[in-house]
Chains A and B, each alone.
Chain A
Amino acid sequence: MSKEKNIAESTKYETFTQEEYMVMKDDLLRPIEKTGKWGKIWIAFLTVIFLAGVIAYYLQESLGKSVTTGLSDYTMWGVYISNFLFLVALSLSSVFMSAVLKLTHFEWYRPLSRIADVISLSSITMAGICIMISMGRPDRLYFLIIHGRIQSPIVWDIIVVATYFAACVLVLFIALIPSLSTCKNHLTNLPKWQLKMYEILSFGWKGTAEQWKILKKTVNILTVLVIPLGIALRTVSAWLFSTTLRPEWDSTNFGAYFVSGSALLTVAVMIIAVYAFRKIYDLKKYLTNMHFDKMGQAMVLFGFVYAYFNINEYLVPAYKMSSLHANHLLNLFVGEDALFYWLVVLFGIAVPCILPMFKKLRKPFTLTLIAVAVLIAGWFKFYLIVIPGLSHPLLPIQDVPPSWAHYTPSTIEMTIVAATIAGIMLLVTVFSKYFPIISVWEVAEGKLEGKEEIINYK
């Protein structure tokens, strides 16, 4: 009786033609069926970099951080923390390039949402690894949990990173359930273990009306959840700085400043990822010029919001130029780090605000070039927040060794940083080789022009 009822409901909701659906399935599932020579070389290349990072970490822990890193009493955080901030920024892709668009009914989110979710999960995984590497011995995480104070921002950070990671896993894999069922039914030329994996992870998905209802409700709840969670994650990262005794970090602007920077970087990373998938997997039909046009507009919007918070962060204290800030600010504006700083302002703020305003520059290739510049500048921006900030302590200690005032990351540190970046690309690539990188059901649903209907397919 129950079966009959479900079939009846399923049939009732079938409004997407079988032919159209088959073409779409073929297009979107094709990347899973075969991996070309260049794909294998790319995966091998990323794996080698990642393994080099594992070896570098082993060396760091066996020889000691004082020998293998450029860290000192002043610059006690270094490139690991600036890279951690960058990775956390990327992990908000799910918030800005999926959840917000979805909840505000921007229909063009559909082919982008899974790419954003995968980037988020990969980035937060590597960010978690990065913060552990920064702490040194891994057992310190255990001691932090056992002996940590709930009043400490470090403990909040651990809690919010773990919670956001769990939310990213659920957001990605629950929305993936119908697609896995599609993979199981549609892809037959795959190894048995892979088909078995699809069967297990599709959790007995039959596409009944009841299942759809539960799935959509759960996905919606999680979509709402990741927004405050992502903003909390980013804000807690900012508070780690605000609650540390450094004049240039002692800012109530820091939380919003970090969140706005993340929004810009998530657009940049999405443009690059969408361009790559469109090109490599031949998905031009689904990742269209319209998406680049929209993402270019989003880049301008987030660029201006970020510029506003930068003005609050730098120009307002510079206008006052109190003795507390003068040392650090003059160093950035006209001192040792000036060239570095103004290049970051140019490529990280001015370029995303101005260039994508021109429609011609919102084409896939040109916009991707802009996004690459913004992303690289974004990485260096965090470096400029962390390193010169640490080099100018609130209470200078007398007779410090000159080496303390300067920090240069060691080869070990840079290898580990490269490994975390390669790790993100490796996770995203491997994911796209085993799972559909574009959500088949969400795109198909979009064809119904937002009607409150459920598509039945198996």
Chain B
Amino acid sequence: MEKYKYFIATCIMILFSIATSYAQDKEAKIALTFEKADSLFVCKALVTSEGKPVIEVPVNLSVKRLFSNLAIGDAVSTDSTGVASFEVPQDIPSHNGKLTIFAKIVDDENYKNTETSAEVNWGTIVVSDNANVGERSIAAGRSGAPIYFIISSLLVIGLFWGILIYAVLQVVKIKRLGSLDKI
């Protein structure tokens, strides 16, 4: 019996995998609707399968960002009417005010992974204040150095090089005095 236990374990795992895959074979559809309730933005995800609402299925909501999606809260399970309700934050930045909202069912026991998306005009338009881009600053380019910085740098450089040039002129003076002494 001992020598067969690995074989039996493998068979059970295969059977479990087959059963699971059949169980996940059901397809679900998600429909997104957007409502404003009082002062809240609410997104409702209606999950149906073969025309009937699906209950107790966790739905993940996310919003598209530049590189990947940003999750909006935790997963919410559908209620008895097949609806999962989410409160959408009102301060999600967007270029044009539009947000692409994604709803997903992932790794459910009964339903295959599915995803849907819809656009809604709930984004907060970001207005970049570029008024200071042309200003002179430490972080600016070569031509944008602050005036006080340029003046103080030139003063220090000028002071040191001025003294060095003065020293060279003194050597010239020593040479001139030597020439006079010859005469």
Residues of A within 8 A of B (CB): 2-3, 6, 147-151, 159, 163, 166-167, 170, 174, 177, 203-206, 208, 210-211, 214-215, 217-218, 221-222, 225, 229
Contact = CB atoms under 8 A, between A and B. Distances in A.
B176 to A, nearest CB: 8
B142 interface: yes
A217 B183 CA distance: 25
Contacts of B174: 177, 203-205, 211, 214-215
B67 to A, nearest CB: 15
B16 interface: no
Contacts of B149: 150-151
A221 B166 contact: yes
Contacts of A6: 181
B167 A221 contact: yes
A158 B70 CA distance: 47
Contacts of A210: 177
Interface stretch (B26-34, B44-52, B78-86, B153-161): B153-161
B134 interface: no
**DSSP majority for the B interface?**
helix
Nearest to B180: A2
A149 B180 contact: no
Contact of A3 (B150, B175, B179, B181): B181
A174 B180 CA distance: 20
Contacts of A166: 161, 164
A335 B69 CA distance: 41
Nearest to B141: A149
Nearest to B143: A149
Contact of A151 (B138, B157, B168, B179): B138
A204 B142 CA distance: 46
B173 A214 contact: yes
Nearest to A222: B167
Contacts of A150: 142, 145, 149-150, 153
Most interface-central of A148, A166, A218 (chain B CB within 10 A): A218
B144 to A, nearest CB: 9
B171 interface: yes
B90 interface: no
B142 A147 contact: yes
A3 B163 CA distance: 30
B142 A211 contact: no
Nearest to A169: B164
A337 to B, nearest CB: 35
